[in-house]
Amino acid sequence: MGTRDRVAYGSFGCMRPAVPLQIAGFILMGVALVIYPCRIREEEAALTAALGERYRAYCRRTWRRLPGVC
């Protein structure tokens, strides 16, 4: 081997190889993508019960998650 610099930052600074950290990140992202919509529905139901028509009007004129997507 030559005298090249080794990568020692990011996930490679914690673990070699960094694949287990990357897999854990994907798992956490998947869990978040499942939980997030459920949480949105719960909060919307609570806000609708508390604020009624004012909140429904707000929902009609704003996006739920990403502007222009959903």
pLDDT score, position 64? 78
pLDDT score, position 65? 73
The single-letter code of the amino acid at 12 is F
pLDDT score, position 40? 87
pLDDT score, position 15? 65
pLDDT score, position 67? 64
Mean pLDDT per 10-residue section of the chain, whose length is 70 residues: 61 68 88 88 94 94 72
